[in-house]
Amino acid sequence: MRVLGVDPGLGRIGVCILEKNGSSYRSIIHKLISTPPIELPKRLSIIEEELAELIHQYKPDIMVTERLTFARNTTTALDVSKALGVILLISSHHNLPWVEFAPTEIKKCVTGVGSATKQQVQYMVMKLLGIRDAPKPDDVSDAIAIALSYAMQHNSYVALK
């Protein structure tokens, strides 16, 4: 099974294609998609092109995103929501089922504690994948954790189309 984990954003989008084989996990690719501070439609187009290329090249079975939660900056929330809309449209265009997890669900799945710190999540990502260095920046590590959350309990959730 191949899982595309996406940490939604506008300027920085963490992505990971994770492969699950039995009880082992391997990151086929994890990277950051960056968009420069240019007009919004062009930034969204960059996200669309890069994600579509990843889907075409690695053929994941499902896309998993983190549920957006914002408490302060509504302008940022609106722009990230627009980026998430494009991400979900890409999922639909590629007939890729989609699931989202709340941040606390991801932390609990990967670390066992829903209030885990970013450092604790990174440590478990490294341990579960058998890698020495924490993936950087945090958006990439988060995308891996998002993909791991689904892979570790994929029979528990029904994908949405």
With a cut of 90, say whether residue 21 has pLDDT above it.
Answer: no
Determine the pLDDT at residue 104: 95
DSSP state of 67: P
- So what's the pLDDT on residue 155? 56
The full set of domain ranges for the chain reads 2-156
Instruction: Give the pLDDT score at 153.
Output: 86
pTM above the 0.85 mark? Answer: yes
* Euclidean distance between CA atoms 60 and 96, whole angstroms: 8
Residue 134 neighbours by CB under 8 Å, 6+ apart: 122, 123, 125, 126, 141
Q: Please identify every residue annotated as catalytic.
A: 7, 66, 139
pLDDT band, residue 158 (cuts 50/70/90): very low
Cβ pair 6, 143 in contact under 8 A:
yes
Cβ(63)–Cβ(95) below 8 Å: no
* Per-residue pLDDT at 157: 46
User: Is the torsion defined by CA of 36, 39, 40, 43 positive or negative?
Assistant: negative
Instruction: Read off the pLDDT of residues 44-88 as tens digits, 9 standing for 90 and up.
Output: 999 999 999 999 999 999 999 999 886 666 777 889 999 999 999
CATH class of 2-156: alpha beta
Segment 106-129 mean pLDDT:
94
Q: How far apart are CA 90 and CA 19, in angstroms?
A: 20
Distance separating alpha carbons of residues 45 and 137, to the nearest angstrom:
22
Q: Is it the case that residue 105 has pLDDT exceeding 80?
A: yes
